[in-house]
């Protein structure tokens, strides 16, 4: 058996994962210009990344809605506009060759037929490189853009998401791969024996089917899932091919990976059928002191108006601006947005005795993910250690801004990982599943 290989995803959240990164002199505005998107994605493809992952939300950042009428207070909030991800994936499908194309599709503000049809279509356009990041939505402001006053309850969102997933997969399984014979002589376009009508009737959805898109080139698109709450981990263990997670220590990451793999086995799956990929922010330079100086410069450009909303969306409705910002974090009501992230936020504040302002700056810098500051060799050391210790199957790399950090990662870190024999020197296959080392699912038995 060939040695286990580390997997990489490039997390793309324009104009960068650091809230102040867009202010760097060498940063480019990657939120609306397709050529800039394409430049970053092709850089990741040159670095042999498994996939690029586009986070999405159908609402502006909380900084704007929290500001109310005083929108000037939120004027520094980046990530305000972006290209709708399915439109973007369609363009990237025909301008890239190997890299997987993964985007968020919420189960709270879509219908299963929409999601099944869109991602199946992208899979055909890309010749088998599409992936769906299944989420229930963290940004509570989305609700008011879809005729609701508030999010559905957390437990209900995950109940709906589980059924949503089953309907989408059922639609994807509607046709066998060889169902369309297109026999001109007989006039037979498809073989009816290779069609399944879904006829799903459940608590949340009634969907007849079949899907009007043929079976995916890779069996079905890859499914990613990012929940770390108990319902989130259970959903990932049952449904996901890839799990994106936020873990800030190797011990926590080892425990999370072991937990999800154990849950997968309880669902009758091989633990190797799911790839666990923690997020990793990185600030690189050729020397430790240069990297530290760059990181401190990024921190110096952050303002309270921009960083406070990053934690207030997890505050359970409590307006933290009414408390002394240099004082301790008060007790928080349970958030309906993201239970696991709120728990992590509170534990970080207590463990490191952080004030509200310090916590907001820390979280806005990382979005709860691990942060590495240092040299390329030291970053490769850290990634190898986690990988070999069973803390990760790979990493989701978060660039503070674009394009320089991504170019430096590909130029400096990728060769270092390759020298150690833990990262590919060429793509192994044609589809995203093949490159991830995942089996293409066979059609269900009739």
- Please enumerate, by residue number, every residue annotated as part of a binding site: 56, 104, 154, 158, 228-229
| Pairing verdict, β 51-54 and 394-398 | unpaired
The secondary structure of 3-72 as a DSSP string is PP--EEEEEE-TT-SSTTGGGSTT---TTT-HHHHHHHHHHHHHTT-SEEEE---SS--HHHHHHTT-GG
The phi-psi region of residue 316 (left if phi > 0; otherwise alpha if psi is between -120 and 50; otherwise beta) is left
CA–CA separation, 104 and 118 (whole Å)? 12
**Which residues carry a binding-site annotation for FMN?**
56, 104, 154, 158, 228-229
CA–CA separation, 300 and 296 (whole Å)? 6
Q: Can you tell me which residue has the tokens 């809605």?
A: 65
Both tokens of 325, joined, read 């910002």
Q: Is the dihedral of CA 137, 143, 146, 148 positive or negative?
A: positive
Identify the bridge partners of residue 242 per DSSP, sorted by sequence position: 224, 275
Residue 153 is classified by DSSP as: P
- Whose CA is closest to 359, among 324, 383, 335, 398? 324
């Amino acid at each position: 058996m060939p040695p286990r290989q580390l997997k990489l995803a490039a997390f793309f959240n324009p104009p960068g994962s650091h809230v102040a990164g867009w202010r760097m002199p060498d940063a480019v505005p990657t939120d609306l210009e397709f050529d800039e998107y394409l430049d970053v994605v092709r850089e990741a493809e040159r670095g042999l990344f498994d996939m690029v992952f586009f986070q999405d939300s159908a609402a502006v950042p909380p900084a704007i809605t929290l500001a109310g009428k005083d929108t000037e207070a939120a004027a520094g909030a980046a990530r305000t506009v972006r290209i709708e991800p399915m439109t973007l994936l369609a363009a990237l499908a025909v301008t890239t060759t190997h890299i997987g194309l993964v985007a968020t599709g919420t189960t709270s503000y879509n219908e299963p037929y929409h999601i099944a049809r869109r991602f199946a279509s992208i899979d055909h356009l890309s010749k088998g490189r599409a992936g769906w990041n299944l989420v229930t939505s963290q940004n509570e402001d989305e609700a008011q853009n879809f005729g609701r006053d508030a999010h559905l309850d957390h437990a209900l969102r995950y109940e709906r998401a589980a059924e949503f997933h089953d309907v989408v997969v059922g639609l994807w399984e509607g046709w066998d791969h060889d169902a369309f014979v297109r026999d001109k002589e007989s006039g037979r376009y498809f073989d009816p024996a290779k069609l399944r009508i879904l006829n799903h009737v459940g608590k949340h959805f009634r969907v007849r089917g079949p899907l009007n898109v043929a079976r995916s080139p890779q069996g079905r698109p890859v499914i990613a899932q990012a929940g770390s709450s108990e319902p989130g981990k259970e959903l990932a263990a049952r449904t996901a091919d890839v799990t994106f997670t936020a873990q800030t220590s190797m011990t926590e990451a080892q425990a999370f990976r072991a937990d999800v793999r154990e849950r997968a086995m309880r669902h009758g799956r091989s633990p190797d059928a799911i790839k666990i990929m923690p997020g990793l922010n990185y600030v690189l330079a050729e020397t430790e002191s240069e990297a530290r100086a760059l990181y401190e410069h990024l921190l110096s450009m952050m303002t309270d108006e921009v960083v406070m909303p990053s934690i207030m969306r997890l505050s359970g409705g409590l307006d933290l601006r009414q408390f002394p910002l240099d004082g301790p974090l008060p007790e928080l009501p349970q958030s309906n947005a993201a239970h696991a992230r709120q728990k992590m936020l509170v534990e970080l504040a207590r463990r490191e005795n952080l004030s509200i302002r310090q916590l907001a700056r820390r979280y806005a810098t990382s979005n709860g993910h691990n942060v590495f500051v240092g040299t390329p060799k030291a970053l490769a050391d850290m990634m190898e250690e986690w990988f070999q210790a069973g803390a990760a199957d790979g990493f989701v790399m978060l660039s503070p801004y674009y394009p320089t950090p991504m170019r430096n990662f590909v130029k400096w870190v990728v060769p270092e990982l390759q020298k150690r024999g833990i990262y590919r020197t060429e793509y192994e296959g044609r589809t995203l599943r093949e490159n991830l080392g995942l089996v293409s699912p066979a059609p269900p038995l009739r």
